[in-house]
Each structure stands twice: as C-alpha cells, then as structure tokens.
Structure 1
Amino acid sequence: MKRLLITGSNSYIGNSLIEWLKQYSSEYIVETISLRNESWENTNFSQYDTVLHLAGIAHVSSDPKQKELYYKVNRDLTIETAEKAKQDGVKQFIFMSSIIVYGGSVLNNGMIDKSTVPRPRDFYGDSKLQAEQGIVSLESENFKVAIVRPPMIYGKGSKGNYPKLSKLAKATPFFPNIENKRSMLHIDNLCEFIRLLIENEEKGLYFPQNKEYVRTSEIVKLISHVHRKKMILTKIFNPLILLLRKKVNFLNKIFGDLVYEKNMSNYKQEYRIRNLKETITVTELGHTK
C-alpha cells in the first residue's frame, strides 16, 4: 500500500489521477492538499511515500505584472514543498513541469532530442525550469526527485487548445490540411505513467507522450468522425498559413511542429494504454465505442 499526497486541489491532472487509481483501490491511498494559504506548512508529510506536486499557475501570460507571481508560485512554492517533503521523510517527490521549458531552443523542424538545451522564452517556462533546478539539488539517497516534462495534455474536461479545436471541428466543414507534427499526451496515458513512476519509486527526468505524432488536421478529422460530421481537408489555405505560421503565435500553436524524439519517451513498462483514435473517442464521448 502506497500513500500519495497531491498538491493542488481540483487540478485536472490530480482529479484524473484520483479516478484512475480507483481501479487499484487496494494499492494506493490518495489525499490532496491546497497550498493557497500557509496552513499547509503545518501538515505532517511523513505519512506519505510520494508527493505529486501539481500546484502552480498553468496558463501562459505575457503580462509583466504577473511575472513576480509566476516565480513565487511555480518556482518558490515548488522548492518549499520539496524541502518540507524531504525534511518530513517522504521518499519520492514528483514535479509536473512542461515541454514549454524548451521555448526558443526548439530546432527549425520542431524536434526536441536529449541534446536539446532548455531555453524558455517567457517567465512561465523559466519559472518551471528554475523550479526543476531547485528541487534536483535536494535529491539524496533517501529522497528521489522525478521531473515530468509532458507535451500538450488533453482529455475529457481538459482546458487549453484541444477544446478549441474540438469546438472548431464540430462547427466547420472545412479545415486546412497542413503536414505538421505534434507530440501530445492523453490524460489516461499520463495517469498510467505517473502510477508507474510511483510504483517503481523512480527518479530522474521523463518525457512521456503518445505513441503517435499527430497532425492538427488529423485530430480535427477524427473529432468530426466521432460526431458523425463530414470534414473536408483542403490545401487551398496552405500558402498563406505557411507564410504566417512563424510570425503569428496562434497559427504556430495550431499548425507548427513540436515533438519529442520518440526514444526519449520509452519506458521499461508500457504506459500508453490508448492509441490516438481511442483517445479522441474517449475525450469526445467519455467512453470508447
């Protein structure tokens, strides 16, 4: 029986993991804690084997007024939580970072490999990277630190770009057919990966992703198919999109390339329990057909 503490009440990943672990109810005890006020500092962490740190600011902001808050929450609070976990005798600390730490270091083809050096382009990515650096320094023989840098996470009830694509796929009969590549990670695959990290008491840096790279047009077409709507992919807009893609951030997010080299994401046990088609069906309908 392993005891897990999740920081960050009502987080999407946290709530999803709690549901996922219910199928292993005899193997895990899971509790959550809010870090919104200082009362958490009085909680005794010694009863837990693992702390999964999800508390933080998840969205990207370019507002300079928010910069101090990002570092206070995403960096300082992460390090403070890890320090307390270590002091109280917790064996493992798992930190949810992000692919965004690579920022401007991504090559022209959007490929990230093991030699790619993180170079954040905003204070969200930089606060995450500095948090990583701060907690790695705490690692010891009795305190294992695992850092997860996932790509875009999606699933039923997720936020971010996926719901926007889903809404668009259900509303339009046409979509640009751009040959781009993206790494993505379905929430069920992520939850299984986290479970394995806990089960195996892992430490180190991890890059989980779905088995398949995806094209944005492929996702939109799959969503339309699930809802039994006809979708026509067209290349008529491609010249304009390809011209503006690198200049317009919104277009780059939708049609740009951003992938992890596939070998980076391999693990000794299979965590990718759903393929792309299954993940789209589950995300859209809440169940497989």
Structure 2
Amino acid sequence: MKKILITGADSYIGTCFEKWVGQWPDQYQVDTVDMKDGSWQEKDFSNYDVVFHVAGIAHVSSDPKMEELYYKVNRDLTIKTAEKARAEGVRQFVFMSSIIVYGDSNSKKRVIDKNTVPSPCNFYGNSKLQAEEGISALETDSFKIAIIRPPMIYGKGSKGNYPRLASLAKKTPIFPDFENERSMLHIDNLCEFIKVIVDHQDAGVFFPQNKEYVKTSHLVKTIAEIHGKKIWMTRIFYPVLKLMFGIGIVNKVFGNLVYEKSMSEYDKVNYRLRSFRESIKLTESRD
C-alpha cells in the first residue's frame, strides 16, 4: 500500500486526487496537512512513501505587493517541505508546477518542445521555476523528485478561466471564431497521471495534457451544445482581437500555448482516460 501525504488541505487538485485514488482503498492511504500556519512542521513525514505538494498560490497576479508572498509560498515553502520530506525518509516528492514557467500565451502559434527553455514573464511563473530548481538539488537515489508542469486544468468545481468561459457559453448568443490552440488537461486525466507516477515512483519533469489541442471557440461551442444552447461563431471580431493582444485577459482566452504532443506520452500506462467531449460533459454535469 502506498501512503501519500497531500500538502494543502482543501486544495482543488489535492481533493480531487484523494477522491480519485479512493477508488482503490486497499492500495492507497491518503492524508492531508494544512500548510497555512507553521503546524505542518510538527507533522511526522516518516510514515509516508510520497509527499504530493500542491500547496501554493495558484492564480496570476500583477500586483507588486504580492511578489514577496508568491516567493515565500510557492518557492520557499516548497523547498522547506521537500527538505523535511527527504530528512524524514520519504521516497518520492511530487510537485505541481505549471506551464506558466514558459511564459504567457500569445497571438502567434506557440509550441513548447523539450528544447524550449523556461522563461517566466511574471513572478508567479518565476516562483514556480525557482521552486523546481530548489527541490531538484535535493534529489538522491533514495529521494525521487517528480515535477509536473500541467497546462490549464479544468473539471467540475475548478477555478480560473474555464468557469468564466462556461458561464459565458451558457449566456451569450455570439462568440468570436478566433484561430488558436491551447493545451488543456482534465482533472481526471491529471489524477490518473499522478497515480501512475506514484505507482512507478518516477522522477523527472512531466508534461501531461489531453490528447486533443483545443480552440477556444470550439470549447465554448461544445459547452453551449451540452447545455442545449445555440451560439453563433463569427470572425467579425478577428481584427479587433489581433490588435488587443498584450492585454492579459485576451492572451489568456485567445492565446496560443501548446506542448508538442510527444512530450506528453507516457509509455507505461494510458493516463488520458477522458476524451475532450466526455470531459466537458463531466465538467458540466449537475451531479
């Protein structure tokens, strides 16, 4: 049985992962620890095979007053947690980083491959990258480090851009048909990926994503269809949107940012259990 400690009580990814592996109660024992105060330092890590570190500030902020907090939480707390895990005999440390370490999306087609050098464009991305560098230095033969750099994660109850787009899809009769490509990752596919990484005690940097790239207008149209709504896609806004690139919300919604597909293959197990349309149905279901 794998004994897993999730850092970050009530986090979306941590909660979903705990529920996912709960399907096999005889194979996984999962506990969580709250990292919001210093009490986690008194927790005995020696009882666990794996520490799954999801605690952190997940949203992007441009407020300079937040910069110190980002580094304190996303970088310093991560490194301290990994140091404690190694000192107390944990065998694997799994860290949730982000595609954001490669910078923001933009108007031109942008494909990240294994030769792409990380280049964060904000202190959120930089704090994640510095955390990666800090924990990588701790790896030994008996202490494996797995760094996961997912693209946009979505699923029932998720936060961020997806629920905003879903809300818009259910209300608006018209949406821009803008040509772009995004890598996305449904929460079930992510949870399965983490499970197999833990099962095989893998180390390295990983780039899980759905099998399909997604065009924003196709995403919005699919959400609308699932709710029985009709939505008209138009290219009339195309010139305006091209001029508006550089504005944060436009980049996030209509920008291009994908992983080259071979980076996300995992030859041991098929972790991509949900197709795009199935994942949208599950996300939009009322159950």
| TM-score category (smaller protein) | over 0.9
TM-score, normalised with respect to structure 2: 0.97
Q: Does 1:74 align with 2:68?
A: no
State the partner residue of 1:216.
216
State the partner residue of 1:236.
236
Distance 1:169 1:104, change over 3 A: closer
Distance apart, 1:178 and its partner CA: 1.0
Distance apart, 1:248 and its partner CA: 1.8
State the partner residue of 1:281.
281
Distance apart, 1:40 and its partner CA: 1.1
* SS at structure 1 position matched to 2:250: helix
State the partner residue of 2:116.
116
Distance in 1 between residues matched to 2:87 and 2:57, nearest whole Å: 25
Distance in 1 between residues matched to 2:201 and 2:172, nearest whole Å: 46
Distance 1:107 1:170, change over 3 A: closer
* SS at structure 1 position matched to 2:103: helix
Distance apart, 1:286 and its partner CA: 4.9
Q: Does 1:204 align with 2:230?
A: no
Distance in 1 between residues matched to 2:248 and 2:277, nearest whole Å: 28
**Paired residue total:** 286
Distance apart, 1:243 and its partner CA: 2.4
State the partner residue of 1:258.
257
Distance in 1 between residues matched to 2:205 and 2:107, nearest whole Å: 21
Once the two structures are superposed, residues 168-222 of structure 1 have per-residue CA deviations (whole angstroms, 9 ceiling, x without a partner) of: 0000111111111000000000000000000000000000000000000001011
Distance in 2 between residues matched to 1:197 and 1:249, nearest whole Å: 34
Distance 1:228 1:111, change over 3 A: same
**Paired residue type of 1:4:** I
Please show how residues 61-140 of structure 1 align to structure 2 within 5 Å: 61-103=61-103, 108-140=108-140
Q: Let me know the Cα RMSD of the aligned residues.
A: 1.3
**Aligned partners of 1:105 and 1:119 also within 8 Å:** no
Distance in 2 between residues matched to 1:242 and 1:266, nearest whole Å: 33
State the partner residue of 1:149.
149
Distance in 1 between residues matched to 2:85 and 2:176, nearest whole Å: 48
State the partner residue of 2:21.
21
**Aligned partners of 2:105 and 2:251 also within 8 Å:** no
**Paired residue type of 1:31:** D
Distance apart, 1:105 and its partner CA: 9.6
Distance in 1 between residues matched to 2:178 and 2:30, nearest whole Å: 43
**Aligned partners of 1:146 and 1:205 also within 8 Å:** yes
**Paired residue type of 2:209:** Q
Distance 1:46 1:106, change over 3 A: farther
Please show how residues 16-55 of structure 1 align to structure 2 within 5 Å: 16-55=16-55
**Aligned partners of 1:182 and 1:257 also within 8 Å:** yes
Higher relative CO (CA 8 A, sep ≥ 6), structure 1 or 2? 2
**Aligned partners of 1:105 and 1:117 also within 8 Å:** no
**Aligned partners of 1:106 and 1:112 also within 8 Å:** no
Distance apart, 1:240 and its partner CA: 1.2
Name segments (4+ residues, structure 1) moved above 3 Å: 104-108
Distance apart, 1:110 and its partner CA: 1.4
**Aligned partners of 2:105 and 2:252 also within 8 Å:** no
The runs of 5 or more residues in structure 1 that have no matched partner are: none
Distance in 1 between residues matched to 2:174 and 2:261, nearest whole Å: 31
* SS at structure 2 position matched to 1:277: helix
